[in-house]
Amino acid sequence: MWRELRVKCQEVRAVTRTEMPYWHELTHSKFVAAANETEVAVVVVGAVEAHGNHLPLGTDVILPEYLASRVAERTRALVLPPIPFGNSWTFETFEGTVSVKPQTLISLYRDVMESVFRHGFRYIVVINGHGGNYSSLTLAAQEATNNGERVVIIVNWWRDLAEGARRSVIETYDGHAAEDETSEMMHVRPDLVEMSQAVSSRTLHRYTVVSAAYREELYPSAVYGDPRTASPEKGHTIMEQAEEELVTLINELERGQLPIRHEI
């Protein structure tokens, strides 16, 4: 009896998973069938770097990957496995950080984008979870789209999505491992958050200061902001709106509508 029940449960889970179009979980034939149903692919990029003592090193991967999983459940877009490493030069001095040079990232991102386009996709939505990746993503997208009518949409999700929700619930300033990011992690992966270790830190400087010698002075404890007022409820509000905006974007792309508005 228990063996039969276990087999049935496995079958139910298998059905559930095949309904979620993750690129890397499909067989070749199933991929061909799924790709024929959409022109949109989703690429997740993040970073592995210090986020204070209260958030996990993979915060910049975990949050956009969560949003991608929601997209996979609600649209026909095919979601690729995440690229977990990024340009984390600013936090290289903190243990656990893994940083990739911008030149390497440009080549990697470009190759992935071009490979996706070769499969016939017209649109790539990049859900970027880390600010240090943006310039490399932009240059890679320029190269990948230079010789054809293909489109890369780069979504710096912490900045481009859920603006209204953030204004309504966040009490302090945005930053790194701050109230907003901590709230989002408390909603998505509360088991990885250690609020007893959360501290506030903010260094003010009038100009952009770039120096390997002063990285820890610029970002003490790898925190910029005040995570102490974070809550899972705030995180839920932000992630819910971010999800809706992403789904809307992908549905528009499926209809051939770019997120461009002209004002007179």
The pLDDT confidence band at residue 5, using thresholds 50, 70 and 90, is very low
The residue assigned the tokens 């880390």 is: 130
Say what the pLDDT of residue 261 is.
Answer: 83
Side-chain half-sphere of 18: how many Cα atoms within 13 Å? 11
Residues whose CB falls within 8 Å of the CB of residue 171, separated by 6 or more in sequence, listed in order: 179, 229
Q: Which CATH number fits domain 37-250: 3.40.50.1820, 3.50.50.60, 3.40.50.10310, 3.40.1390.10?
A: 3.40.50.10310
Q: Are 78 and 159 in contact (CB under 8 A)?
A: no
Give the pLDDT confidence score for residue 77 in this predicted structure: 96
pLDDT band at 18 (very low <50, low <70, confident <90, very high): very low
**What is the predicted pLDDT for the residue at 237?**
98
**pLDDT, mean over the chain:** 91
- Residue 20's nearest CA partner among 62, 78, 81 is 78
Q: Decide if pLDDT at 94 tops 50.
A: yes
Residue written as tokens 């139910």?
A: 12
Coil, strand or helix at 128:
strand
What pLDDT does residue 20 have? Answer: 54
Higher pLDDT, 17 or 199: 199
Q: Average of pLDDT values for 39-60?
A: 98
How far apart (Å, rounded) are the C-alpha atoms in residues 195 and 176? 15
pLDDT of residue 216: 83
246 Cβ contact list (under 8 Å, min separation 6): 67, 70, 71, 125, 127, 155, 157, 161
Q: What is the pLDDT of residue 10?
A: 41
- The confidence score (pLDDT) of residue 3 equals 38
